[in-house]
A and B are shown apart, each in its own frame.
Chain A
């Protein structure tokens, strides 16, 4: 359906005011849909990777967002996503991966779904897609931190055992 919309918009050009409004409304969503950034997958067992997996069952959407963190600086050096769902969900997660790159892990927790929705001009009925992206960012950070604290535990245990 999104492809038909794209073709219709491109076809009509500037002639119809309705098409112009529709084009502005959908422009960034269409862009992310046609030119998705950062689609892919990291190895979820890699200790520098955090994986966020979230879903919206009523729409049948599923969204995976992964971050690669530099352990020393706590900076997110890379991000990727894989989303099955509507154009708004795909675009929201695509935007999320762009926005988290190069930022501190704690910082990205303050990314709000309303900012993503505004950036994409999402209609009210699609707001929950941006919420899903916000959830995915938080889940990825949480996963990384859980992995890190688990490995710290193991290191601490080993150290304690060694000195015992």
Chain B
């Protein structure tokens, strides 16, 4: 499903379920609508963020991310080390924003890789993409803290 389709569906659901719009109905119906509305918001948030979407989609195929996995991939780790050090040493918000836009690019790139891997049922590569996106997301969190 494309992202713009997602937004349209989200708005359609919210029109049906929004608590303000069902005030004339019974208590039970209002509660149900509120609960469903919250779930729709949750689903929308999960699916519009590339990383949480990726993790959710492979979960549907029974592929779970290992929370305690340890890796020794030298290329990936060296890159992440460099990024984290750059954030650590950045002196002003200009420098941080520059790294941030690099991270956005990388996130997009690996999100696309994920899509390709998922479509061809290559779950090894899909997980590798998730690994990368997690590292970039984490680095971005550090930037946001500093800004």
Residues of A within 8 A of B (CB): 53-60, 62, 64, 82, 84, 128, 131-132, 135, 139
Contact = CB atoms under 8 A, between A and B. Distances in A.
Interface in B59-76: 65-74, 76
Given A59-B138, A62-B80, 18 more contacts: A53-B78, A54-B71, A55-B72, A55-B76, A55-B135, A56-B68, A56-B71, A57-B71, A58-B68, A58-B69, A60-B134, A60-B135, A62-B135, A82-B85, A84-B84, A131-B70, A132-B70, A139-B72
A79 to B, nearest CB: 17
B72 A54 contact: yes
B65 A84 contact: no
A77 to B, nearest CB: 24
Interface string B39-59: 000000000000000000000
18 contacts: A53-B72, A53-B74, A53-B78, A54-B71, A55-B71, A55-B72, A55-B76, A56-B71, A57-B71, A57-B131, A58-B69, A59-B138, A60-B139, A62-B81, A64-B81, A82-B81, A131-B68, A135-B70
B147 to A, nearest CB: 18
A101 B82 CA distance: 26
B66 A62 contact: no
A53 B69 contact: no
Nearest to B78: A53
